[in-house]
Structure 1
Amino acid sequence: MSSEKIVAFVEPSFYGVSFVRAAYEQGFKIIAIVSSDENPVKYGYEGIYHDLIIADIRDEDALFEAITNSEYHNKLDALIPATDYASHLTAKVAQRLGLKGVPYEAALKSRNKDLAREAYAAHDVPSAKFKKVKTYEEAALAAEEIRYPIVLKPTNASSSQNVFFINSSTELKQAMAEIIGFKETYMNFKVREEYLIEEYLDGQEFSVELFLQDGNPIFSTVTEKTTSPLPYFVEIVHTLPTSVYSERGEDIINTAVSALRAIGLINGPSHVEIKLTDDGPRIIEVNGRPGGDNISSDLLIQALGFDIFKATVSYYLDLPIDIHINHNRAASVAYLIADKDGTVSNIRGLEHIDNHENVIRSHFSVQLGDQISVPKSSDDRLGYVITVGSTPIEARESAVALIRNIELIYT
């Protein structure tokens, strides 16, 4: 070990696996706090951690007691959330242990979209009109006030799970029946029985990848997004940096920073989703962590050479933060999705992908015999290809063309 620093991660998964890898490669001792000893294999970080602590990550006291009853009590140098769902609980436990972390109230607001919207309104951050509702009757009144089309979404889920684009009271009634039945999300976290009716924001979608120090960005870049056709909001292409509206970049970044300040996320990494409407940038949501979906793990590194996970681990450990940009190119990820429901009998067009000069990496999970459907959430995507280019347009067009050349044959 090149350092005696002990870094604990709460339930590494999805984007959080990159946290574990970054810290492991820096030579720190890695402790994974997990709900099951099967999770390192399940989420793909077997072999890059040193010890496990088993805990109920959905319960603050259980998490705290698992740490204090372990051999690492009073020995941890950092406690880092490595899944969205436990980020507020991790913040509270870090506070109780006297470790550096995101302020609990800020983490709570970033995890709960209604609390975030309330904070934006209180600080005049351009956002969307919204109402919090529990029943169809409340939702119908809210929709009439905000005016169709509207968006219905859970207050504390992610990955576009049960997010509905709605044009009428009939559609709203059906969507409310579905969303009320959505009781549990990833890792058995409970879905709050309060929902948001929001104004539909029309415009180009972006995310802003940021690293803040005392409320000011020491790193920022804008990622262009393409989403699936309505009525769903599944992200199917990310390009970093953006190939469109680059002249609006400063305005988009400033809006993102104002949202982060409003909810109290003034230090460390963040991933802020924004739409550029006719009235200017408007906040969709804020996440107080590096962007997932291959944005931070691949696109930032391939386009700019910036490892935001390594920078974040350094932040938690009070070590110097390296924001040096090593590349000046672009990267894109495009996802394969089904254009109709059915069973896959053949897949054509995969054979030339890895030999393409722009391709960095690809991964496809779809197999012959799989039943697939038009995607309603990120979970329904079937694979991806990551490309680089000297310009954002080159990177994006390469990725999109390769995905479009894949043909799914249905029975």
Structure 2
Amino acid sequence: MEIIVFIGSNKSGSSREALITSTKMGYYTILLTNRKGFIKHKEEFPEVHEMIYEENLSDEEKIQSILSRIEKDKKKIAAVISFIDPFVSLAARIAIGLGLVPLSTNALTIMEKKTRFREQLKANPVTPHYSIIKSNQPIHTCVLGFLDELPLVLKCPTSNGSKDVMLASTISELKDSLSYLRRKYPDTSLLAEEYLEGTQYLIEVIAFKGEITMVAVIEQEIQQGGRFIITGYIYPAALTETEYDKLEAAVTSVISQLELVNGTCHLEMRLIDGEWKLIEINPRMSGGAMNRIIQEGTGINLVKETIKLSLGEVPALEKTKTTHVYAKFLTVNTRGKLLKVTGENIASAFEGVVEVFVKPRNGAILTIPYSLGDRYAYVIASSETTEQAKLIASTASMEIKFYLEPL
């Protein structure tokens, strides 16, 4: 039996679906993980044939040593894949070293760090105004330099899932955000970008032998506040033909300039005065419920097609259906210990609801959202119109209630 090795996984979302899909495709599935809790509760991953603990998954030499032991057991590795930042380019490099299907490692590496892709694309019109703040630059100097540029978005270049992405609209917020990020990342340069007001869209892309496909364009709803937490996804995005054509041209220019010939990524973009601007790009498909949203809306199992890409197979990207889908994500407005969650079964029973997912176990500590990881449940609904799908998911989600013991 051929093996697919995955470097890293979350307990749910696209990376977990990749494990399940690999096994369904008939492969012997091995997960390399740095999470001791996964090893302790292996029974919760019935799709994983073998789970191996490695504290430092970024240590390429150690990973290669593990894979050598696997191969000595006369097991043939068919692919080495990661759906997790920052291991995507690492997995691609290791795969090439094993003589497997080559992905565009240089492009994937550039996308893994925000300052890298900004510098690579600085001459591209999709790039907003930005500055790189060196780690040794005094905060008071930064504040003086940015007085006329507020509001600004401040980011750690290696963050993902909206973690440590902060909106500074005032001098006070700028000082506080810079101080927070400096304390957390003392030796890291920070990124300051102009804040662009407008609807944000997520674009899932696959490049196969240089052919670029925009698999899905999804509108994002962002929770009010300074942390950019996405609480709603709408498929398909309502764009005019002109807007879509301009988007396709912008995405193609980005992918071509990064020289992504084989690989996947997702972009987040905003339409500003008729022109598309790049907010983020990541060298993998989006996590969370994205695979289910796309599959429900288009018939395409993007996780499966991503795996096929790494196996050298032609991904099947033709839409087999067009359904309107809305995903509603839930957060909490206070910190506390989870006592229980109710309403999941009631929400699931709503006509049009295709999936309800609640992430935390009883006893988990929940918090107000600081990143996308602080979203604790979602409801996905499909219907003949966006309005109907949104109404169904939103109404059903109101049945889900978190009971917390205050801390």
TM bin (shorter chain)? 0.7 to 0.9
Distance (Å, rounded) in 1 between the aligned partners of 2:60 and 2:81: 14
Cα distance 1:248–1:128, how it changes in 2: closer, same or farther (>3 A)?
Answer: same
Query: SS of 2:176's equivalent?
Result: helix
Q: 1:242 aligns with which of 208, 229, 237?
A: 237
Q: What is the identity, as a one-letter code, of the residue corresponding to 2:312?
A: D
Q: Which position in structure 1 is the counterpart of 2:369? A: 375
Q: Which position in structure 1 is the counterpart of 2:184? A: 182
- What is the TM-score normalised by the length of structure 1? 0.86
Asked if 1:259 is matched to 2:219, the reply is no
Q: Which position in structure 2 is the counterpart of 1:126? A: 126
Query: SS of 1:352's equivalent?
Result: helix
Distance (Å, rounded) in 1 between the aligned partners of 2:267 and 2:288: 13
Cα distance 1:59–1:173, how it changes in 2: closer, same or farther (>3 A)?
Answer: same
Q: Which position in structure 1 is the counterpart of 2:78? A: 77
Using the TM superposition, give the Cα deviation of residue 291 of structure 1 relative to its aligned residue in structure 2, in angstroms: 1.7
Cα distance 1:44–1:322, how it changes in 2: closer, same or farther (>3 A)?
Answer: farther
1:81-120 matches, within 5 Å, as 81-120=82-121
Q: What is the identity, as a one-letter code, of the residue corresponding to 2:60?
A: E
Asked if 1:169 is matched to 2:164, the reply is no
Query: SS of 1:293's equivalent?
Result: coil
Q: Which position in structure 1 is the counterpart of 2:51? A: 52
Distance (Å, rounded) in 2 between the aligned partners of 1:42 and 1:368: 16
Q: What is the identity, as a one-letter code, of the residue corresponding to 2:313?
A: L
Distance (Å, rounded) in 2 between the aligned partners of 1:374 and 1:34: 27
Q: In structure 2, list runs of 5 or more residues that go unmatched.
A: none
Using the TM superposition, give the Cα deviation of residue 60 of structure 1 relative to its aligned residue in structure 2, in angstroms: 1.7
Q: 1:143 aligns with which of 143, 146, 154?
A: 146
Higher alpha-carbon deviation: 163-172 or 91-100:
91-100
Cα distance 1:41–1:107, how it changes in 2: closer, same or farther (>3 A)?
Answer: farther
Contact 1:219 1:323 (8 Å CA) reproduced: no
Asked if 1:25 is matched to 2:28, the reply is no
Distance (Å, rounded) in 1 between the aligned partners of 2:229 and 2:262: 29
Q: Which position in structure 1 is the counterpart of 2:267? A: 272
Q: 1:9 aligns with which of 1, 6, 9?
A: 6
Asked if 1:220 is matched to 2:215, the reply is yes
Cα distance 1:351–1:100, how it changes in 2: closer, same or farther (>3 A)?
Answer: closer
Q: Which position in structure 2 is the counterpart of 1:186? A: none
Contact 2:344 2:356 (8 Å CA) reproduced: no
Higher alpha-carbon deviation: 280-289 or 213-222:
213-222
Distance (Å, rounded) in 2 between the aligned partners of 1:151 and 1:44: 42
Cα distance 1:266–1:394, how it changes in 2: closer, same or farther (>3 A)?
Answer: farther
Spell out, residue by residue over 1:51-98, the C-alpha distance to the aligned partner (whole angstroms, 9 max, x if none).
Answer: 234433121222122222433588322111131221122222223323
Q: Which position in structure 2 is the counterpart of 1:65? A: 65
Using the TM superposition, give the Cα deviation of residue 286 of structure 1 relative to its aligned residue in structure 2, in angstroms: 1.2
Query: SS of 2:90's equivalent?
Result: helix
Spell out, residue by residue over 1:92-125, the C-alpha distance to the aligned partner (whole angstroms, 9 max, x if none).
Answer: 2223323224333212211100000111114x14
Q: Which position in structure 2 is the counterpart of 1:308? A: 302
Cα distance 1:196–1:219, how it changes in 2: closer, same or farther (>3 A)?
Answer: closer
Query: SS of 1:309's equivalent?
Result: helix
Q: CA RMSD in A?
A: 2.9
- What is the TM-score normalised by the length of structure 2? 0.87
Q: Which position in structure 2 is the counterpart of 1:293? A: 288
Spell out, residue by residue over 1:209-255, the C-alpha distance to the aligned partner (whole angstroms, 9 max, x if none).
Answer: 12222333345221010011022200100122114657522322332
Cα distance 1:148–1:229, how it changes in 2: closer, same or farther (>3 A)?
Answer: same
Using the TM superposition, give the Cα deviation of residue 193 of structure 1 relative to its aligned residue in structure 2, in angstroms: 1.4
Distance (Å, rounded) in 1 between the aligned partners of 2:305 and 2:388: 28
Distance (Å, rounded) in 1 between the aligned partners of 2:46 and 2:278: 39
Contact 1:270 1:290 (8 Å CA) reproduced: yes
Higher alpha-carbon deviation: 209-218 or 355-364:
209-218
Distance (Å, rounded) in 1 between the aligned partners of 2:41 and 2:142: 38
Contact 1:20 1:45 (8 Å CA) reproduced: no
Contact 1:239 1:332 (8 Å CA) reproduced: yes
User: How many residue pairs align between the two structures?
Assistant: 398
Identity of aligned residues (%): 20
Using the TM superposition, give the Cα deviation of residue 341 of structure 1 relative to its aligned residue in structure 2, in angstroms: 5.8
Contact 1:222 1:249 (8 Å CA) reproduced: no
